Homo-oligomer: A and B are copies of this chain.
Amino acid sequence: LLSQVGQLTAEVVKGRRAFLVTHPAIERFHGGAVRSSLEAAGFAVTQVVIPAGERQKSMSRLTDLIRQMLAAGLDRNSVLIALGGGVIGDLGGLTAALFMRGIPYVQIPTTLLAMVDSSVGGKTAVDLDDAKNAVGAFHQPRLVVIDPDALSSLPIREIRAGLAEVIKYGVLGDAQFFDWLRENAVALTSYRQESLAYAIRRSCEMKAGLVEQDEFDTKNLRAALNLGHTVGHGIEALGGYRLYRHGEAIAIGMVAACRIAESMGVAEKPIADSVVQLLRIVGLPVRPKAPVDGTALLAAMLKDKKTTEGTLNFVLPTRIGHVTLQPVPSDLVLKIVSEL
């Protein structure tokens, strides 16, 4: 699909100026194909290659990009193309959302995590100091191009991290998909194309379904997607966003959510063990890699956007394939996390 990006983009935007944002490794692997495709479809392309890493999701990088777009003479009909993982997608999406109050953008995710998560749903953001996604907007991409071929160059740790979100979809909304994942876990971690393609398609379908019902995250439907994210974001923050990949922290957060659900009697029957088992087969962590400072974890969780006026709201599984949203006392959260 990467060689069809130009044609696909031309069908959905008016202008013929494109601003391509990517990072060095992706540029090396896929930049040429995407650029040629855009140029063949009549686009004048300005390419900006930014360093890899979460630190790029910053106000200063955002400001630089907008400055470069102004210098390139882009206007409101121009298109921004975000070619890369979640960082490029979130940053590129917000840049497109804000440039002249919003221009169209195209997501071309190149990691499994971005393919199944951030590329769908229109959530864009940058971080501020230690507050993840503190500055952001809802801005739907005009087009999302997912080419599973791009995964062949992705390290196994990134495949595993992406699978954490894939497993999340099974736990939160589709028991049959959860079973399929158990049967295909080895195929997935062996980069089997057909298995990955199916897992991506099913994940995107589920995410799109929830987003369509609750685009702006105000009805507690989209909130289901945050399964594992309250503890997960906290643990990620405590690790300075270096110790864990996002998916690894989410895996641990999902186990915590299952154990909390069991402990509070929200889960109809034990579920944590089967989730732990699948995460282990895939090669994901199921407990923190280092002891967790409870006070620091609580502080990090309270900074999360899902917090309202000091209450921790959790997505808790009632059974595989079904979740509910509930406030959880912070001492229970800390107890469960310390016992993982």
Which residues of A are in contact with B by a Cβ distance under 8 Å? 15-17, 59, 62-63, 66-67, 70, 73, 75-77, 97-102, 123, 125, 128-129, 131, 133-138, 216-217, 303, 305, 307-310
Closest Cβ of chain B to A126, distance in Å, is 9
Contact of A100 among B17, B101, B134 (CB under 8 A): B134
Contacts of A101 in B (CB 8 A): 123, 125, 133, 136-138, 217, 305
Can you list 22 pairs linking A and B with CB atoms under 8 Å apart?
A: A16-B309, A63-B135, A66-B128, A66-B135, A70-B128, A70-B129, A70-B131, A70-B134, A70-B303, A73-B310, A75-B305, A75-B307, A75-B308, A76-B305, A76-B308, A77-B309, A99-B135, A100-B134, A101-B125, A101-B136, A101-B138, A102-B216
Q: Assess the B70–A59 pair: CB atoms within 8 A.
A: no
Docked-complex contact B137 and A98, CB < 8 angstroms: yes
Q: How far is the CB of A62 from chain B (nearest CB, A)?
A: 8
CA distance A138 to B67 in the complex (A): 20
Do B66 and A134 touch (CB < 8 A)? Answer: yes
Question: What residues on B are CB-neighbors of A125 within 8 Å?
Answer: 101
Q: Which residues of B contact A133 (CB under 8 A)?
A: 100-101
User: What number of copies of this chain does the assembly contain?
Assistant: 2
Complex Cα spacing A41 to B215, Å = 31
Residue numbers in B under 8 Å from A63 (CB-CB): 59, 128, 135
Q: Using Cβ atoms and an 8 Å threshold, which residues of chain B touch A129?
A: 67, 70
Q: Would you list the 8 A-B pairs with minimal beta carbon distance, nearest first?
A: A101-B136, A100-B305, A98-B135, A59-B63, A75-B308, A70-B131, A77-B308, A66-B135
Interface core residue of A16, A66, A125, A303 (most chain B CB under 10 Å): A66
Q: Chain B's nearest CB lies how many Å from the CB of A139? A: 9
Between A101, A135, A303, A309, the greatest number of chain B beta carbons within 10 A of the residue's beta carbon is seen for A101
Task: List 6 additional A-B contacts (Cβ < 8 Å) besides A59-B62, A75-B307, A101-B125.
Answer: A15-B308, A63-B128, A77-B308, A77-B309, A101-B217, A101-B305
**In whole Å, how far is A216's beta carbon from the nearest beta carbon of chain B?**
7
Tell me the complex Cα distance, A307–B75, Å. 7
Tell me, rounded to whole Å, the shortest Cβ–Cβ distance linking A215 to chain B.
11
Q: How far is the CB of A104 from chain B (nearest CB, A)?
A: 11
Provide the bound-state CA to CA distance between A134 and B98, in Å.
8
Complex formed: what's the CA distance from A134 to B74 in Å? Answer: 11
